[in-house]
Amino acid sequence: MNKYDCIVIGAGPAGLSATLTLGRARRKVAIFDNGTNRNRVTQESHGFLTRDGIKPQEFKNIAMKELEAYPSLSISNETVIEVNKNVHNNLFLVNTSNNKSYITEKILLATGIQEEFPLTQIRQYYGKSLFSCPYCDGWELRDKPLAIIAEKDEHIVHMTKLVFNWSKDLIVFSNGHPLSNKVRNSFESKKIKVYTEVIKSLHGDNGYLESIELESGENILRSGGFIVPSFYRQNKFAEQLNCKVDENGGIITDGAGRTTANGIYIAGETEKAGPSSLMLAAADGYKAAASINLDITLDRF
């Protein structure tokens, strides 16, 4: 069985950036990807210098093509289902859904996160007219009649204040959750209307929102908006490998990608179980790769 210097789990911008950096450091690396990156539903990615407006799959394809220039790198379209550490030799055994196994000295977790929405119907519009990041998609929705869909005061306040920079035509929907008078008064002073009724249905065509129907039957015209989902990791690799987690569910690191478990590194959205931009995730991957390469160097020199 071939032994790798590092196995990277997840081919989002963090994992791809780390793999490229390690390849350039002449490390033998395998990167695993199963195509579940959450930005796959997005029409365009923004804020990454030289690639503003690029389709996520095109961004990924370009990165994958760049990896081909480095012979020590390999790409596997497999789902990793288990990672175990051999305490006798400090190596890791990685098992995939294809019943294949791989051995490696280091592991980089870059599997990202996924969203959970307050309404399942949001999936039909997510990435086309409903979004979770104003920095990513606010420009495209500027000056349009927008909805803010969130269920907690702090989330509603944060998102509404942010989006107000791009459009003043906002209506807040709390989906059955009450808002404090303080929040209501603040919004009313900016002519932002608030609906606390439960949302019955979203209406639109081919992913483009047209209106939001409340349980009362009232239908409010909106052409897009922003939501506040909750985020979660799809796997428990970090916990199973004894990486320490903070009180908010984030993986504790040294700030350079090293977790508290020897040989396990983390990069991108996986670390905090919260959203990040392409550029920040790629930078995290670069930083973690530098830590991995340095640690391998010191181990072997």
The pLDDT > 90 percentage for the chain reads 92
Which pTM value belongs to this model?
0.94
Region 127-133: what's the mean pLDDT? 96
User: Burial, 293: exposed, middle or buried (Cβ in 10 Å; 0-12, 13-18, 19+)?
Assistant: buried
Is 149's pLDDT higher than 90? Answer: yes
Render pLDDT for 212-264 as a digit per residue (tens, 0 to 9).
999 999 999 999 999 999 999 989 999 999 999 999 889 999 999 999 999 99
How far is Cα 7 from Cα 50, in angstroms, rounded to an integer?
A: 28
As a whole number of angstroms, the longest Cα–Cα distance in the chain is 71
- Matching residue, tokens 């690639």: 51
The pLDDT > 70 percentage for the chain reads 100
Residue 153: both structure tokens together: 């005061």
Domains and CATH numbers, the chain: 3-113+233-300 (3.50.50.60), 117-227 (3.50.50.60)
How far is Cα 228 from Cα 115, in angstroms, rounded to an integer?
A: 9
Render pLDDT for 80-122 as a digit per residue (tens, 0 to 9).
999 999 988 999 999 999 999 999 999 999 999 999 998 999 9
Amino acid of residue 89:
N
How far is Cα 138 from Cα 61, in angstroms, rounded to an integer?
A: 25
Render pLDDT for 29-43 as a digit per residue (tens, 0 to 9).
999 999 888 888 888
Report residue 60: phi and psi, to 5°. Answer: -65, -40
How far is Cα 148 from Cα 227, in angstroms, rounded to an integer?
A: 6
Render pLDDT for 266-287 as a digit per residue (tens, 0 to 9).
999 999 888 999 999 999 999 9
3-state SS, residue 37: coil
Q: How many Å separate Cα 251 from the centre of its chain?
A: 15
How far is Cα 85 from Cα 237, in angstroms, rounded to an integer?
A: 11
